[in-house]
Amino acid sequence: MSEEKNKDFKATSRKDAIKTIFKGTGYLALGGLVWGGYVDDRKKPELVLRPPGALKEDIFIKACIKCGLCVEACPYDTLKLSIPSDNKVAGTPYFIARDIPCYMCTDIPCVPVCPTGALDMTSLYTDDILPKPDVNKIRMGLAVVNKESCIAFWGIQCDACYRACPLLNEAITIEYDKNERTGKHAFLKPVVNAEACTGCGICEHVCVTEIPAIKVLPLSIATGKVGNHYIKGWDPEDEKRLENVNSDVNNDKDNSGAIDYLNNSDDLLEDEE
């Protein structure tokens, strides 16, 4: 009798154990799907400018611990910490160039305070003997001109962005062009050079149009990529990529099937008669 009772007890406890496991899995699945869905939505690449020296966006959002030390270090109040209603990864630093751009402090105070390495000083070092950060190596984004809304492209003289750029005549240059409409004036068109542009956003900040005609976009959005199969034949460095390429064309393929198919197509010839 007692044995039987014992058996019963065991059976219940096993059932309970299975139930508990089932329930636990259920909790995890329910929570995971809801919460995971939200997280997944939030980590999509964002249209947001990060502080100097930031790692690539997908690694940056892993690495940023949201302590706000970079924000505290910024003397111009350029950097802000996002809040949940911003539709960004909450607590991560960013700046809006139109409001307050990055003024490119030469000692870059926001970067060395980063405890995790999400803002990476080593990426800004020059090749000098003593590692010294170089503000001009910062790449926060790239300025893009919308020529339809830029009044310089209309023929009105405006070189606000060109004059404000900390890399005067390097990051933005002026291209002269003849104004065919008047026949006697020149266009002074601003052109952004991606090799030099740091993405500081001062140009966007000073732009005179109602909505800036020059905007700084994150590099991942502003830049394209050619792909490996294009090689600059006029550039000896680029040509080197061809040195070790196996250029043998594979002619072993049996083409007889295709040829036979054409030769044997009697029906075609008959139709022509």
The H or E element containing residue 34 is: helix 2-42
Contact 141, 101 (CB under 8 A): no
Should residue 221 be labelled a site residue for another protein when binding is judged by CB under 8 A?
Answer: no
From candidates 35, 146, 168, 170, binder to another protein by CB under 8 A: 35
The tokens for 227 are 């792909």
Rounded Cα distance, 29 and 21, in Å: 12
Which stretch, 68-76, 126-134, 182-190, 213-221, contacts another protein (CB under 8 A)?
A: 68-76
Should residue 91 be labelled a site residue for another protein when binding is judged by CB under 8 A?
Answer: yes
Q: How many residues bind another protein (CB under 8 A)?
A: 36
Which stretch, 24-32, 150-158, 160-168, 223-231, contacts another protein (CB under 8 A)?
A: 24-32
Subset of 159-218 contacting another protein (CB under 8 A): none
Residue among 61 and 150 whose Cβ is closer to another protein:
61
Contacts of 71 (CB under 8 A, 6+ apart): 79, 80, 81, 93, 110
From candidates 36, 177, 179, 239, binder to another protein by CB under 8 A: 36
Contact 94, 64 (CB under 8 A): no
Should residue 43 be labelled a site residue for another protein when binding is judged by CB under 8 A?
Answer: yes
Rounded Cα distance, 224 and 144, in Å: 13
From candidates 61, 161, 197, 219, binder to another protein by CB under 8 A: 61
Residue among 72 and 170 whose Cβ is closer to another protein:
72
Should residue 69 be labelled a site residue for another protein when binding is judged by CB under 8 A?
Answer: yes
What amino acid occupies position 24?
A: G
CB of 217 to another protein, least distance (A): 22
The H or E element containing residue 145 is: strand 142-145
Query: Which residue has 């600059």 as its token pair?
Result: 232
Should residue 136 be labelled a site residue for another protein when binding is judged by CB under 8 A?
Answer: no
Residue among 58 and 170 whose Cβ is closer to another protein:
58
Contact 189, 175 (CB under 8 A): yes
Should residue 17 be labelled a site residue for another protein when binding is judged by CB under 8 A?
Answer: no
Contact 110, 73 (CB under 8 A): yes
Nearest to 143 by CA among 94, 192, 109, 103: 192
**Residues near another protein, by CB under 8 A:** 24, 27-28, 31-32, 35-36, 38-40, 42-43, 58-59, 61-63, 65-69, 71-72, 80-81, 83-85, 89-91, 113, 115-117
